[in-house]
Structure 1
Amino acid sequence: MLGINGGELLVLLLVAALVIGPERLPAYAEQLAGWVRRLRDVVRDTRRRVDDELGDAARDVDWAALDPRRYDPRRIVREALLEDVGTTAPPRAGRAAAGAATGARTGTARTPGGLSGPAPFDDEAT
């Protein structure tokens, strides 16, 4: 919490109480309590709206995996490179050679990624 430990927070609260004074302290405490209640209501309403908007898709999200403290670029690159496009296992040298041989026999052209045909083209792209 802002790099303040318990002892420093206690000193700051004591100084604030002395500066504000005993006659205005209850009014400021009530105002602070109102702000906390409003903030809690805003958070609750925001969570409810997100749940309503996203529905079941929000419940399936692994929020712990999106924690920036768990960010590891090596893991992300490794998962992206090993991600299957449509096969059950990543192609290896032996399998790619066997696939090229079967593709030559059947007359279909195969690319290393297993995709065939022209590259996708978007008419509306700038």
Structure 2
Amino acid sequence: MFDISWGNLLVLAVAGLFILGPERLPGAAAWLGRTVRQIRQYASGAQQQLRSELGPEFDELRRPLEDLRSLREFHPRRMVTSQLLGDINDLPREITLTRNGTNGYGAPPAPPVSTPMPAPQRPLLPGERPPFDPDAT
């Protein structure tokens, strides 16, 4: 629910130790535990009360929420690949995409093509105007 790692918990404990001091920290931790437990009891009681009052309609209300949760596993790249190519396991080996190290999945990188260098331009003479292209402006 809150995605708190052990490192974050340790930082919070050290900050609490400095802020509250060693004599008040155990009492604050106990109060926090009781409060969290009480909030969970209230939430579960409210859910049970809703379920008992709504009956089967409660499950109909939960269905759209579960559909939204399924969108968490939505991967656009996988969806586009499956729509364009179908099941990637059914393709011949020559057509399957390979994983390259630069930009994810794609065709294997082509070897670099050597292009000839353009001829160097001569510098402008003093007082000479640079070339002007009216179509470029």
User: Larger C-alpha radius of gyration, 1 or 2?
Assistant: 2
Between Structure 1 and Structure 2, which shows a larger proportion of helix residues?
Answer: 1
Between Structure 1 and Structure 2, which shows a larger proportion of strand residues?
Answer: 2
